[in-house]
Amino acid sequence: MATLFFTHPVCLDHDTGDYHPECADRLKAVLAALEGEEFMNLLREEAPQATREHLLRAHCPHHVEHFFEVVPPEGEHHYMDPDTVMSSKTGEAALRSAGSVIAAVDAIAAKQARNAFCAVRPPGHHAERDAPMGFCFFNNAAIGALHARDAHGFQRVAVIDFDVHHGNGTQHILWDEPNTFYGSTHQEHAYPNTGLANETGGKGVMVNVPLPAGTGSDDFRQAFDDILIQKLRAFEPDFIIISAGFDAHASDPLAHLRLKTSDFKWCTEKLLEVAAEFADNRVVSVLEGGYDPAALAASVKEHVRALMGM
């Protein structure tokens, strides 16, 4: 079976203003990188819109309602906080981003593809149950995880996040959700200053692996394999969602880990091994961070190559 690929043109129309790091150029670089001949076998689909029911699995009604109330008219911006900015197309882009993960979960649950990658924006892993933050409005990964559990009956759903920034929102949403696992490698003492190793969850299982600034490939791989992968295997997930942030790359301007492009293929393959053992290969990946377009594009190529078994 092939790998599904979800995106939508409106994700390029989410306008964050001049000089914002989370800009359309990021997604343009990813889409261009995946147009090569080696990716011709991707099953390409347009991301549908999530419904309010989908959003409410992870977010409170006030947050969802307020978001749509403040979408600005064309040509204007609305700042949810100093970093998290909306334009007239942000509402649809956010729905398509969450909807891509919903559609990918549905397709993988129905065995219509081997796995899936969602190249969408805005990202999601900083969005908490009741608040947007850190460029994020709705938590795409958490919405997908709860959809896999509640709509399809999967019993042990895991979200793995290798973005350089801790996914505080995913942790916040899944903290007391039974039958869920959130595992994160991230730079310690970086935005949003969460994700300490002693943050271990309530009814959900949390595994945080903070890494010192300057951590390179060898130390990252050891921590990822010895801590996160081992605890994930002990959890025995039957569905895995990847919060695929690529800003731990050495070229990224927003943080200070020193990963190489090849590290992203390596850690993806490690997750696929766990999925093969426990989850009948069920994996859905969704784009999070990565703010150097060239490094992002190269890293996504390696990630997707791994998903495709290349």
Cα–Cα dist 156/279, whole Å: 9
**207 forms bridges with which residues in the sheet?**
183
Cβ neighbours of 280 (radius 10 Å)? 11
Backbone angles phi, psi at 111, to 5 degrees: 60, 35
CB contact at 8 A, 283 and 115:
yes
**b (16+ CB within 10 A) / e for 225-260:** eebbbebbeebebbbbbbbbbbbbbbbbebbbbbbb
CB contact at 8 A, 182 and 159:
yes
Q: Which of 63, 125, 126, 186 is catalytic?
A: 126
66 a catalytic residue: no
Q: What is the CA radius of gyration of the chain?
A: 17
- Concatenating the DSSP letter of every residue in 208-230 gives EEEE-TT-BHHHHHHHIIIIIIH
DSSP code for 279: S
Handedness of CA 87, 161, 168, 64 (dihedral sign): positive
DSSP code for 131: B
The two beta strands, 78-79 and 85-86, are antiparallel
Cα–Cα dist 299/294, whole Å: 9
Q: Which residues are catalytic?
A: 126
